[in-house]
Structure formats: C-alpha cells, structure tokens
Amino acid sequence: MNTPTPESQRLAAFARAVRESTLKRLRLVPPGQENWRLTPGAMSFADQAQHLIDTDEWLFKKLDVKTLDPILGEAGTVTIAHRAEYEALLDALARSGQRRDALIKSLTDEDFDALIYDARFDGEVSVWWIIVRGNLDHEIHHRGQIVALLRALGGGDSR
C-alpha cells in the first residue's frame, strides 16, 4: 500500500468536499421531481447522479486502460419510480466518492506525474490533470447544473 503524500491527502479532501456538496444539492430535489428535466433532451437530477457515478467508474478504469475514450452524459439513462430508488442512487454516488477518495489517497507523486492520453485535452496530460480537470472539475460543472435546475424548479436556497 502506498503511503499517502501531502498532495494525495489534499486532493482527496477536496474530492470529498466536492462530492459532499453535490450530494447536498441532490438531496434538495423534492420527492417526485427526480426525473424532472428542463428540456426533453436535458439530463434529469437522477441522470446527473448516475452520470457522476459513471464518470467515477470511468476514472478508475482510465488509470488502468490508458486508451479508454471519454464518456458522455445522456438524458434518460435513469428513471426513478419511487423516492427509495433515488435515495439508493445517492447512496451509490456517496460510495463511489469514497472509492474515489481511497484511490486518490493511494497515489504517489510519481503516479500523479505519469502521462496519459486523453482525447478531451487533445494529447497527453498527467494523471493529476485527469483527476482534477477530467473528474473533479467535471463534477463541479454538473453541480452547477443541478443548482440551476433546482432554481428553475422553484427550489429554495441551494447554496
């Protein structure tokens, strides 16, 4: 097992804060509105949660399969019939975040510096870049969408 480095500890703490903030907003979705979407082609709250799980799974795989292509979010990937299904989806998102934290904590400085090709960035970037820009910044982007959707739905303060 790798010894956590100051960088891996800081980055894991940031990843935890990002996920907790995302979960906080997703928990504000009113019951019965989990499948609501702003437009027919937009992702719902449930789609957003599933997409974030999928992007974590992509990250885990990308670090092993360096040639893995990026993934895209899609509307209509999840349909929630009962609030308990949505709660289970959020629980899965929390577990995925815990796995991501453990992965990040296990990385050494050499691991972070390793180069990997990513088509989104049109070339080789560091593993650190894949994690920060390709996963964490990506989640922050979707959290912004979730906040905008809550406001469009008439939700209260989602700060």
Establish if 77 belongs to a structural domain. yes
Give the chain's domain count: 1
Give the tens place of pLDDT for each residue, 40-70.
999 999 999 999 999 999 999 999 998 888 8
Distance CA 12, CA 65 (A): 22
Domain assignment present for 70:
yes
- With respect to residue 157, please indicate whether it lies within any of the assigned structural domains: no
Q: What is the pTM of this model?
A: 0.93
Residue 158 maps to a domain: no
Q: Is residue 159 situated within a structural domain?
A: no
* Domain of 144, in residue numbers: 6-152
What CATH number is given to the structural domain containing 21? 1.20.120.450
In a domain, 56, yes or no: yes
Identify whether 125 is part of a domain: yes
- Is the confidence at residue 2, as pLDDT, over 90? no
Task: Express each pLDDT in 87-128 by its tens digit.
Answer: 999 999 999 999 999 999 999 999 999 999 998 888 899 999
